[in-house]
Amino acid sequence: MNPFQSDNIWKKKARQGKTQQHPLTPQQEWQKQVNSSSLWLGGGVVLLTINPLSQALGKKLESAAGSVLKGQQMGFIIVAVILTVIGCGMFQMTGVFVRERVPSAEQKFGFKENFKIMWGNKPFRNQLISGVLRSPIQILLSVAMTLMSYYYGNYFGDYMLYMIIFGGAIFGGQFIAMALVPKLAEKHDKTRMLIGSTIMGAIPFALIYPVYLLAPRDLDQPLWVAILFVVFALAGGGIGALNVLQSVMIADAVDYEEYHKGYRPDGVFFSGQSFITKLSAGISSIIQGVGYSIVGFSGDNVSACNEALRAGASFKDQFPQYAGMMFFLCSIPPAIGLFLSIIPLRHYGMTDEEHRTILEALVQRRNAQAEEIADN
């Protein structure tokens, strides 16, 4: 019997609120996780574009605002509001045009129970720890914008070309990896692929700072731009593969929970993924703040740096300590975090073969329940 031939029975029972969620087919699962990962890509595109757009608008508003700083502030606020309105509109379109096909789970859990469920699930627990350890990779998105505007554009110069080159390298690598991962996962164990993707991302990150040390004042030259393009593309590929595999393996952890505990708390685990993202953002902000404080890049020093750049100073020549720290933050903390995140992944707790056995058992269990429902 096809495991999903009993859909009509399950849909009827779901309308009565008497059944749990139906498992997705592998193809549906991959599609859902790739779509989920595309949200991360979209967020990265916004982060990379908001700074140049706001600064371009800020230049137009300088005379009306009365100063360069106020013009930049007004430009950022206006661009942020526009992007927020566009984003809200798209979310509303999703709610209007997408039909929810999955019934709500019967069981509801509080925060304490949710955490116990997540921590008690060995595969998810190791993913949770791994996600926290690799949180410094989020530094790249925030520091990269500042680095591009200062190093490649002297803050008020034209750095859009470099933003396009390096941003295109990162997101191009991610798109390629996201396209290849589903096919590769058909032949290779997902845990091993996740570890390999992590290493693939960690090595290029580790190379960024040494590249800067080799040519601290020449990274805007064509040869070094080409080298950094390759480095960022490889790093982006590792991150793209990592994001897709992580989401898919969280779905596997849901199957693991249903098999062992008898309920399917999809929302608990995927909200846990959001928790990892938010916690990682906080950790990366702390690391970034510590790094800037070490070289004194804060408060009055930032204002003095901006004034000097407006007067024609060279950021890479006259402020090497700031440039060095920015390249360091984009490189060493993410690399260390990625390498450390491999440790819990080695103890993930479920192989692909074990997951296939779990799925077969769940299908048999659901078919038996469907037949019982049909008899009643």
Find the radius of gyration of the CA atoms of the chain: 24
76 to 45, 157, 238, 356: CA distances (angstroms): 16, 17, 31, 50
pLDDT at position 328, please? 94
Torsion (CA) 137, 166, 291, 287 in degrees, nearest 10:
-20
Give the pLDDT confidence score for residue 49 in this predicted structure: 67
Alpha carbon 214 to chain centroid distance?
Answer: 30
**64-91 pLDDT tens trace:** 777 666 777 788 888 888 888 888 887 7
pLDDT given at position 32: 55
Measured over the CA atoms of residue 39, residue 133, residue 251 and residue 355, the dihedral's sign is positive
Pick out the chain residues at pLDDT < 50.
Answer: 1-22, 102, 104, 155-156
One-letter identity of residue 107: Q
| Contact present, 247 and 33 (Cβ < 8 Å) | yes
- The DSSP symbol for 368 reads H
DSSP assignment of 21-46, as one string?
PPPPPHHHHHHHHHHHHHHHHHHHHH
Residue of 258, 205, 260 whose CA lies nearest to 233: 205
Q: How far apart are the first and last CA of the chain?
A: 20
What predicted TM-score, i.e. pTM, was given to this entire model?
Answer: 0.75
The total of other beta-carbon atoms located within 10 Å of residue 319's CB is 22
Q: Strand, helix or coil at 373? A: helix
Domains and CATH numbers, the chain: 110-375 (1.20.1250)
CA separation for the pair 208, 205 (Å, rounded): 6
* Amino acid identity for residue 179 in this structure: A
Distance of alpha carbon 362 from alpha carbon 4, whole angstroms:
12
Residue of 376, 287, 373, 350 whose CA lies nearest to 126: 350
d(CA 198, CA 243): 10
Task: Give 68-76's long-range contacts (Cβ < 8 A, gap of 24+).
Answer: 68/156, 68/310, 69/306, 76/50
- Taking the C-alpha atoms of residue 293 and residue 141, their distance in angstroms, rounded to an integer, is 19
The span from the CA of 232 to the CA of 172, in Å, is: 10
How many Å apart are CA 70 and CA 57, to the nearest integer? Answer: 12
Give the number of other Cβ atoms within 10 Å of residue 42's Cβ. 13
The burial class, CB within 10 Å (0-12 / 13-18 / 19+), for 27 is exposed
